[in-house]
Amino acid sequence: MMLRTRGKSAVQARTHWVVLAAVLIALGLALAVQGYTHHLAGIGDDSVRSDRSAAGVPSAVAHGGPIIDARGNSIRTVAPPDHTIALTFDDGPDPTWTPRILDVLRAHHVHATFFVVGTAAIDHPELVQSIVAEGHEIGVHTLTHADLGTAPEWRRQIEIQGAQQAIAGITGKTASLLRPPYSSENDAVTDSLWSAIRSTASEGYLNVLSTMDSEDWRRPGTAEIARNLIPSESQGQVLLLHDGGGDRSETVAALDSALTRLSEQGYRVTSVGDALGIASMRPASAMEQVSGTVFVWGLRLSDLLVTAISWVLVASGVVTIVRALLVVGVASRHSRMTRRGRRHVDMPLRPEVIEPVTVIVPAYNEAAGIEAAVRSIAASTHPVEIIVVDDGSTDATADIVEALGIPGVRLIRQENGGKPSALNTGLRAASHDLVVMVDGDTVFEPGTVHRLVQPFADPRIGAVSGNTRVANRGGILGAWQHVEYVVGFNLDRRLFDVAECMPTVPGAIGAFRREALVRVGGVSEDTLAEDTDLTMSLCRDGWRVVYKDDAVAWTEAPATLNALWRQRYRWCYGTLQAMWKHRGAVVQGGAAGKLGRRGLGYLLVLQVLLPLLAPVVDVFAVYGLVFLDPLRIGAVWLVFLVVQLLMAAYAFHLDRERLRPLWTLPLQQIVYRQLMYLVVIQSVFTAFAGMHLRWHRMERYGSLRVPTSEVG
């Protein structure tokens, strides 16, 4: 729906940036959560990692029982009764080994305590539910298997609370038993680990260490693990095994034989809670269940999001590489055909076009550059009629043209009606069948018009696009735009020419068959990209539109970021309007179908969808640098940069340009690219919101000069 007031439009325009910022912040948080839970820690071996200082560890802990209760002012420790073994498993659940261990326990009618890692539990909730359903006990082993002894307090809180929320969200119960990762027996408790134990005790947890380590994490072999599981004395023990963290086939085999021997020797094997006669798990409150469920689904969604983005990145990378190979390959073919004097293999050589041409220059407040533009066209080696249509200028544009007194130059004054109106006025006044349209901020080389109209020797040609180059390319902003014109616009035009789906003949330099223009009703005012709209109309009418790379025009590019934004915003929004207007070409045949399926498809993927995904890609790149391998991420970026540099170097070679501006390409990929992506986002939002976009006229700088020689 079209918004009717400027105030509402301004509010809407601000709102979408707020929405974009909110989406990127949410995405960043999701990636941060996913990166934290999957890449800042990991399940590895259980060798002790904390410092070795134990000066602050109470003697009651260092020489006491493996279950430590430090929840109050006093510290108590306890061990299972004699001939009782508390069987514990760490680092699970694992989809391969946990079910097999449960099978062994079921066969021996034994219950155990499983200290689960929160992220593994979220990945395999059905295993956690099976553990509880079969009467086993769940304990906390942190969220990501982090070393609590070296972690700061904020991370300890995240690790413990996150694991508890995962358990509550999956099982509907909470656990009071906790085993710090990388812990061992009491005499191995260090100052840092003791600090972690006190911290978790303040949250209400009983810390469970071990008295017998199977050392299955070393994978010493089934026989040795089995021997490590058999106590040499009758006193109660806490056995440590693992059901996750790697290959546990030795653990499964050793457990089966050890349980048989322990039963034969009269040991009672059970869970920690049962061994102590306590209920270590209780039903979670409604709030705890809701919080846990939200937490679990939040992590799952973050995982899905990262997976989806990963596939999008792969697709984007493939598209980028394919596009680079495609445009370079097609540009090479286009160059060969140009040297042979033909556009396509099915187009034979034609006689030289020498008939006069009408050049239409629409002008609105072009005083800064109109003289250079008109003089350059008047100096053409091809016979030309020049019609300058002053579209209600408020400066001296018309007076300057009149004062030139150049033969063959006609000035038409009209009230301001917009560029399409000015072009149509010039078209009605044109004396010749071939028409060239040129912006008032553009200058031609002497041979430009002659070269531009040569394809009209073929009666199938309805329009010809010339080669637009940036005149004011000084400074980094000018260099960036120069690179964009040569690498982006001109390479793409070569591709569109060969594929016979040219979507745009630029307003800076385009030639048309008057008959073709009349058949499509002249220049339409339906969109802000009248040049794109007109070109698409010609293609849909069956005309072929081609590219003449040696017909060069020099134009002024925006010299400030604000001016660049306004220009590109208008271009992008107008292109979206034209794409929507001509969407029916997708299902048409002939030239229209080529435009619809090839041209519009290319624009949709390369100039709309990929830019819309660019902020996500950039956020993911930061994620990769922080949580993944920075060297690998940097190497991937370097590969893409090299591809861009090679493609740019070839494009500069085709346009016979010096390579010096390419030093700005790496910075262009970081800074300039972001601006262009934001332009696309703004344009797409504007289009979907139905807001009316006013014409943004670019500021003129008067930097154009009449060429004194050909640039070749």
- Cα–Cα dist 435/541, whole Å: 18
SS3 content of the chain, % helix, strand, coil (to 5): 55, 15, 35
Amino acid letter, 615: P
Q: Could you give the residue ranges of the DSSP H alpha helices within 270-418? A: 272-276, 286-339, 370-378, 397-404
What's the rounded Cα separation, in Å, for the pair 477 and 28?
A: 30
Amino acid letter, 31: L
Query: How far, CA to CA in Å, does 430 sit from each of 44, 377, 514, 574, 670?
Result: 80, 16, 9, 27, 46
- Our CA dihedral for 398, 403, 406, 410, rounded to 10 degrees, sits at 30
User: For residue 261, how many C-alpha atoms fall within 13 Å in the half-sphere facing its CB?
Assistant: 14
Options 111, 136, 242, 582, the catalytic residue: 242
Active-site annotation holds for 526: no
Structural Rg of the chain based on CA atoms: 37
| DSSP assignment of 62-117 | HTS-SEEE-SSSS-EEE-PPTTEEEEEEEEE--TTHHHHHHHHHHHTT---EEEE-
Q: Which amino acid is at 124?
A: H
Q: Is 482 a catalytic residue?
A: no
Contact call for residues 546 and 455 (beta carbons, < 8 A): yes
Task: Kindly name the residue from 90, 497, 531, 533 that is annotated as catalytic.
Answer: 90
Tokens of 110: 């034994």
Pick left, alpha or beta for residue 542 (phi over 0 → left; psi -120 to 50 → alpha; otherwise beta).
Answer: left
Residues marked as catalytic: 90, 242
